[in-house]
Structure 1
Amino acid sequence: MLTEANKAVARDFYEAIKAYNEGDELALERVLAPSFVNHRPLAGQTPDIEGLKLPAFHQAFSQIHVTILDQIAEEDKVVDVTAWSLLHTGEFMGVPATGKRISYTEINVLRVVDGMVVERWGLPDEIHILQQLGIVSLQA
């Protein structure tokens, strides 16, 4: 069944991000098509494979853990609700390493063609990340 195969590719996508962060330079190329497009890149990030490597992110965070909380697939799209946990080990957005474990949720829509991710729309809980780093404070 194609949807189950696409779900497996989505799971491989998160494992590839973790492997790349741990030093496997080719991990992303194994799951992302050469024509890959990231439709919601972060500031300073290009919308291609190279942009997803985002050195500032991978230098600032280590020990990435991703848990898929929910996963739905239809035709060539997979939607994942994920929980991320990262260790803040380097400077990020002007904040020196804190050694804190940062956690947040993210929703990703991945389009899969021929066993490769060709497009990504990602929506991380950026405010929660910035709060944990002390960059923003929200008063009740």
Structure 2
Amino acid sequence: MTENTAFGRMHAAVNTGDLELIEKTIDEVVDPGLVFHAPVPTGVPGVRALKQVWRTLLPAFPDLRVHIEDVVVQGDKAVYRNTVTGTHLGEFRGLAPTGRSVCYGEIFIVRLDAGRIAEVWGVVDVLAQLRQLGALDA
């Protein structure tokens, strides 16, 4: 359904767990002027922030997988509801590896321009993620 879109290519790269491929794919499918609206503590904008997300997540969750549950497309925008799974095997947000599995939801709205990802809005269930890692009380 999304394989031939910029987001579909990005999704396929992410699920390889190969940071070099992910960053190469970002360079190919994401507009250099990306506007990235997501609660990521990177302190950098756009494409650099998007790359930093994967530089943070993959060492912490080397088996991370993103499963697309729903896609809604209208005009130049698509909404993706995803389920993310992984095992906490590396440092994440100051938390030492726990070996625990996580499963949490996220929703992204992606705007395309000339076939490239130009703008992203994201909501990630970080509360569920941190609870499953034992960083917060249930």
Whether these two folds match at TM > 0.5 is: yes
Residue 62 of structure 1 pairs with residue 62 of structure 2 = yes
Q: How does 1:1-140 map to 2 (within 5 A)?
A: 8-19=5-16, 21-24=18-21, 25-54=23-52, 55-138=55-138
TM-score, normalization: structure 1? 0.84
Conserved? CA contact 1:71–1:80, under 8 Å = yes
Conserved? CA contact 2:69–2:81, under 8 Å = yes
Identity rate, percent: 28
Partners of 2:108 and 2:129 in 1: how far apart? 17
Conserved? CA contact 1:68–1:80, under 8 Å = yes
Shift of 1:28: 1.4
The count of aligned residue pairs is 135
Conserved? CA contact 2:2–2:8, under 8 Å = no
Conserved? CA contact 2:69–2:82, under 8 Å = yes
Shift of 1:29: 1.0
TM-score, normalization: structure 2? 0.85
> What letter matches 1:52 in structure 2?
L
Residues 31-83 of structure 1: CA deviation (Å, up to 9, x unaligned): 21111121124112423111112233232121221111110000100001111
> What letter matches 2:9 in structure 1?
D
Partners of 1:12 and 1:61 in 2: how far apart? 21
Residues 2-33 of structure 1: CA deviation (Å, up to 9, x unaligned): xx779833222222333464432412112211
Alpha carbons of structure 1 residues 70 and 120: separation in structure 2 relative to 1, 3 Å = same
> Mean alpha-carbon deviation: is it higher for 90-99 or for 104-113?
90-99
TM-align CA RMSD:
2.2
User: What SS does the aligned partner of 2:62 have?
Assistant: strand
Conserved? CA contact 1:111–1:118, under 8 Å = yes
Any gaps of 5 or more consecutive residues in structure 1?
none
> What letter matches 1:101 in structure 2?
S
User: What SS does the aligned partner of 2:58 have?
Assistant: helix
Partners of 1:124 and 1:7 in 2: how far apart? 24
Conserved? CA contact 2:110–2:117, under 8 Å = yes
Shift of 1:88: 1.4
> What letter matches 1:47 in structure 2?
P
Partners of 1:132 and 1:124 in 2: how far apart? 14
